[in-house]
Amino acid sequence: MKHLMILALLGACAASDETISAFVDPDTEFRLESIAGKDFPATATISFPGEGKVLGKAPCNRWSAPQTEPYPWVKIGPILSTRRACPEQAAETAFFDALRAMTLIEATGTVVILSDGDAREMVFRAQK
């Protein structure tokens, strides 16, 4: 009986989500407001629907990626996206480049902030 309890506890520990998805509402979509203190000129979103999963909409395409680092660290990628071209292609490239560079994440209520450790931040706010 004692061994079964230990196995159950180990299983519960192994199943615990340490990624950002454990710290935000999995049904909330966050919209990008700024990169490095500058308003983002297009629409881009991010959400965390489950353990290690990240997805969203870039200015032109839908995207998804794994996220394997434990909170507050973050590593998003590799990023998979559809391949539709649009007038906001430069904004989309800037979005994906910034997203790949982020190493820390902070979730406080309706705001998610990604940063690269060198004061460059991406600020996202929950959609209403």
More reliable by pLDDT, 94 or 68? 94
Instruction: Indicate whether 126 pLDDT > 90.
Output: yes
Q: What is the pTM of this model?
A: 0.84
Answer yes or no: is pLDDT of 123 > 70: yes
- Mean pLDDT on 40-46: 97
Position 6 in a domain:
no
Our count of domains for the chain comes to: 1
Residue 121, strand partner residues = 115
Which percentage of the chain shows pLDDT scores above 90? 76
pLDDT at 19 (0 to 100): 84
What was the pLDDT predicted at 102? 96
The CATH number of residue 117's host domain is 2.40.128.270
Q: Which domain holds residue 101?
A: 17-126
Q: What is the phi-psi region of residue 54: left when phi exceeds 0, alpha when psi lies from -120 to 50, beta otherwise?
A: beta
Is residue 28 situated within a structural domain?
A: yes
**Residue 98 has which token pair?**
């910034």
Q: Is residue 54 part of a domain?
A: yes
- Work out whether the CA dihedral 26, 56, 15, 74 comes out positive or negative: negative
